[in-house]
Amino acid sequence: MADKSDIFVAYAFSVGDVFIEIDESQRISRIEGALEWIGIDKAQSAIGRPITDFVSADDAVILQSGLSLLGGILRLGPVRVGFGATVDTRRRIGLFLSRLSSNATRTHIVAMSLNRLDGPDAESNAPLADMESFLRRLPDILEEGEKNANSDILVSMLQMNKHMQGRDKQGFERQLAALSLGGKNATELGDGRFALVHEATNEGDAQRLMDTLASTTGQRFESATLDAETLGDGSDAAKALVYSIRKFSEESPDFSLQDLSENYTEKMEDTRKRIQTLRSLLKERQFDIAYQPSSRSAHKRCTMWKRWCALINAAARPMN
């Protein structure tokens, strides 16, 4: 029977360009694949060298933060860095980091060209997802997460303590994206407000991720981590979570980080009940439709349009 590591290598080459194995001191113990593409003539020349020798100082910080989180989290990536033997041969690639078990001492890394990973616009792609796109696909991400019994899918929201701009903001966004699920599930919700989806295997993993983000970027922020699984399965739980994120982005006083941290389960259960009530009202047609014509005059022109108002009769009733 083939060794687990050999099986991993075979699988890695079906999806990646270069396979790397590093030991517990983060030195390369094995490297195979399209080595000339990243400026390495022979594998032996890279064996024994720290993996950080092949990235810039800024990218080394991002890579180190990802490696430090492995253990509780068994996989992370893609971590987007420039990788190569020299500055001239560095390619923008995505690194998928993983360990075969929580107590493994060796880390396996699959490197993939960003052109294959992100398409022809890889170089110009922003590290953070558009907010509406992020919220639109969040329910699907949570649904997929329910199928993985080895880890939980969490959503963390952040509020910066001070305004960021320029290089500081770019560095923070790159790091935030790198630590998110799949390296692409983080977004900016508004000025100084962010959200990301990430995995957690053990209690404390979420806080460890936040600590890593703070220490590697030098930025200070407040955060709250939400777990949709506390509300059970189903689309309404996901909708309640999306609603809470949207309200936080709007700086609603009832959805501050402190309020969400202390009253999340109660608040989301109330939101889910409201969603279920509205759905029931629409299904049973317990509402009236009113037609209200309106007019507006501008530069001697009169514009007419229709405004339909749904008056939900029972919506104001207190819920049991």
Q: Which residues of the chain have pLDDT under 50?
A: 1, 122, 290-291, 294-320
Which ranges in the chain are annotated with CATH 3.30.70? 131-279
Q: What is the pLDDT of residue 187?
A: 97
Q: Where along the chain do the CATH 3.30.450.20 domains lie?
A: 4-122
Share of the chain above pLDDT 90, in %: 34
pLDDT at 49: 97
Question: Tell me, what's the pLDDT at 119?
Answer: 63
- pLDDT, residue 137, reads 92
- Segment 256-265, tens digit of pLDDT: 888 887 776 6
User: Would you say domain 4-122 falls under CATH 3.40.50.300?
Assistant: no
> Spelled out in words, what is the top-level CATH class assigned to the domain 131-279?
alpha beta
CA–CA distance, 5 with 99 (Å, rounded to integer): 10
